[in-house]
Amino acid sequence: MKPWWPRFIVRPRVRLTRPRFGMPTRPPDTVIFGIMFIAILFVLGGNIYTLVRTPPAIAGSQSGAPILIAPGIDQQLGMEGIVASVIILVGVVGLGLVYYASKYVFQPGYATRLMILGMIMAGVAFLVFSYLWNIKAGFL
């Protein structure tokens, strides 16, 4: 059966589909992990307390010298929370390196270097955190 229109007019073969509107895709797991990790570091560093309490950004002693660590455990400066968060980050990265070294069982030299670096980072973070706590508590 011949079509009733002329041969030089070609009927297009187009398949029209309905557009699909769905939920947006989920962000990658590394992005979610990074956001959660930064939020946890923010909380562990005591920055919520700093935001609620609104201490002065820079404190000064009676002689005018800047105070980097506020004396007493009932107050905290803004920079203290950031420094505490960075120290916690260094410790966690060190512990992560110790864990990551376990994946290199067949490369013992590389695994040993990772473990030593991780233990040094975690140990330095612990010592610095202890030193800052002793200053804050008034022992030094």
Give the mean pLDDT of 53-62. 68
8 A C-beta contact, residue 47 and residue 79: no
- Whether 21 maps to a domain, the answer reads no
Please check whether residue 72 lies inside any domain of the structure.
yes
* Residues paired with 112 in a beta bridge: none
- pTM (two decimals): 0.73
Domain that holds residue 101: 44-137
The CB density around residue 97, as the number of other CB atoms within 10 Å, is: 19
Would residue 90 count as lying in a domain? Answer: yes
Q: How many domains does the chain have?
A: 1
* Phi (first) and psi of residue 60, to 5 degrees: -130, 150
In a domain, 22, yes or no: no
The larger pLDDT score, comparing residue 65 to residue 89, is at 89
User: Within a domain: residue 132?
Assistant: yes
In a domain, 15, yes or no: no
* Enclosing H/E stretch for 134: helix 108-137
Residue 29 lies in a domain: no
Gap between the Cα atoms of 40 and 125, Å rounded = 17
pLDDT in tens, 32-44: 999 999 999 999 9
